[in-house]
Amino acid sequence: MHTLHQDLGVPPAINASGKMTALGGSVLSEAVITAMSEGARHHVVMADLLAATGREIARVTGTEDGCPTTGAASGVAIAVAALVAGTDLSRIEALPDPGDAPCEVILPRGHSVHFGAPIRQLIALGGGRPVEVGSANKVTKEHLSGAIGPRTAALLYVQSHHAVQKGMVSLAQTIDVGREHGIPVIVDAAAEEDLRHWPTTGADLVVYSGGKAVGGPTSGMICGSARHMEACRAQYAGIARPMKVGKETLFGLVRALRDYGADSPGGHHDRMEKLAARLAALPGITTRVVSDEAGRDIHRTELAVDPESAGRDAAQLADELAAAGVYLRDHHASTGRLYVDPRPLNPDEEEQLVGHLTTLLEGSKGHQRLESDKGPAGLEGGDL
């Protein structure tokens, strides 16, 4: 019997890249799938389910209230809209036109990232006008303070590996500036794993993905004060309407939140050390285990690719693997480095990854030996 994967011509991928939107986020647990199935079998008053899910978000994050979303990206747009329009229905319905309301959202230039879409566009969808300050590799507290004016609605801080890590103003400094000037701070912590930490920093609204570290369906959430969350939910009468969350997703998100952290495997350091030792034997590959650049408790195997010995550079190796349905973390391919993220990989998939790499690189080694045996004009050495 054909599966839908086969019928659609979209085979399952081996994901060694991470909890990536481009690869479908997370593989769901049976408990989450069961919860989504329960949600699919009945009608429900959606306003009540949104509020109930918000209470679950609040419990897990240690905040007053929460607002579920379709993802962290929509969460940023909704958070901005909540601070621009509040609960004023006329303003909500006018967005993304903010009218005369304060609408400037100040962010460090090194945080003006693109993670599949530019964060500037998400701010604009919520009625905000992005104001980048400082330089790509240098932003200070004074840059933030100097940009605040009568039309400032929020400060935005992006906690992500996509953001520049060097020379950036800290979150603590950002919150200090917000407190000094009475400006709320939004933290985009989409893929972060410690759901209670970021609200304790003093941030007013924190945005998470529900489909990445949490292991839920494609979804997201905002958490913070009851006042701000009421304003976030109010945006479902405006710009959030095309971002509405289905009942099945909400049931799955709640189940994932209830199960989150129960069986946390930690940073996978030992597992990645063993994988690094195996892959180091391949031609053209030097390995080591590295920590997550954004500070999360994640360890990955780094593959430094020597083009001469491997027969291709890192980007080409990543492309060849992708053609076989195997996806490595290739953010730094231009510098000759690829990474294996252990979180989405089950043991069978890890073996398939090793097998594909071995076939490609050992095959290149044999090809290089044949080439070295040839004389000028491509003739075999024995024909000279």
Are both 47 and 195 inside the same structural domain? yes
Task: Kindly report which listed range (55-59, 309-313, 364-368) carries the lowest average pLDDT score.
Answer: 364-368
For tokens 């060694």, name the residue.
16
Say yes or no: 146 and 165 in one domain.
Answer: yes
Per-residue pLDDT tens digits for 191-212: 999 999 999 999 999 999 999 9
Q: So what's the pLDDT on residue 104? A: 98
Q: SS3 of 322, please?
A: helix
Tokens at residue 301, please? 């195997």
Pairing label, strands 152-158, 129-133: unpaired
CA distances from 236 to 86, 243, 342 (A): 12, 8, 37
- Does residue 378 or residue 268 have the better pLDDT? 268
Establish if 67 belongs to a structural domain.
yes
Cα(128)–Cα(150) distance, integer angstroms? 14
Residue percentage of the chain with pLDDT more than 70: 93
Decide if 382 is inside a domain.
no
CA distance 48 to 251: 13
pLDDT of residue 293: 82
If asked whether residues 200 and 64 sit together in one domain, one would say yes
Report helix, strand and coil shares of the chain as percent, to nearest 5.
Answer: 45, 15, 35
| Structural domain boundaries, residue 57 | 28-259
b vs e for 202-240, b when ≥16 Cβ sit within 10 Å of the residue's Cβ?
ebbbbbbbbbbbbbbbbbbbbbbeeebbbbbbbbbebbb
Burial of 109 (0-12, 13-18, 19+ CB in 10 A): middle
Residues 252 and 271 in one domain: no
The pair of structure tokens assigned to 362 is 């050992």
pLDDT of 69 higher than 70 = yes
Mean pLDDT of 3-7: 90
Q: How much of the chain, in percent, has pLDDT values that exceed 90? A: 86
Q: Are residues 86 and 217 in the same domain?
A: yes
Token pair for residue 89? 């229905």
Q: What was the pLDDT predicted at 374?
A: 41
Task: Please check whether residue 5 lies inside any domain of the structure.
Answer: no
**pLDDT tens column, 95-148:** 999 999 999 999 999 999 999 999 999 999 999 999 999 999 999 999 999 999
Average pLDDT, the chain: 92
Evaluate if residue 65 carries a pLDDT over 60.
yes
Q: Residue 379 — pLDDT band, cuts 50, 70, 90?
A: very low
| Domain end residue (candidates: 194, 224, 259) | 259
Q: What is the pLDDT of residue 181?
A: 98
Please, which residues bridge with residue 329 across strands? 339
Confidence of residue 268 (pLDDT cuts 50, 70, 90): confident
- In degrees and rounded to multiples of 5, residue 265 shows phi and psi of -85, 5
69 shares a domain with 165 = yes
- Are 202 and 351 found together in one domain? no
